[in-house]
């Protein structure tokens, strides 16, 4: 039972890491835009 769950976990993590392995170069990273303050309390 434990061997089966361990094998399933290893295979599932290998598949997920292969699917999500896309990467970008360090020079392509863009910062998140900051929203403009809308209320008086946000402006202060």
pLDDT for the residue numbered 26: 84
The half-sphere exposure of 39 on its side-chain side, counting CA atoms within 13 A, is 2
Q: How many domains, the chain?
A: 1
Q: 3-state class of 7 per DSSP?
A: helix
Q: Which residue range is the domain that position 30 belongs to?
A: 3-42
pLDDT for the residue numbered 41: 83
pLDDT in tens, 1-44: 589 999 999 998 888 777 665 677 888 889 999 888 888 887 77
- Is the pTM of the predicted complex or chain greater than 0.85? no
């Amino acid at each position: 039972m434990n061997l089966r769950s361990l094998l399933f976990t290893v295979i599932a993590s290998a598949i997920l890491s292969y699917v999500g392995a896309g990467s970008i170069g360090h020079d392509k990273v863009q910062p998140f835009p900051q929203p403009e303050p809308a209320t008086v309390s946000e402006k202060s």
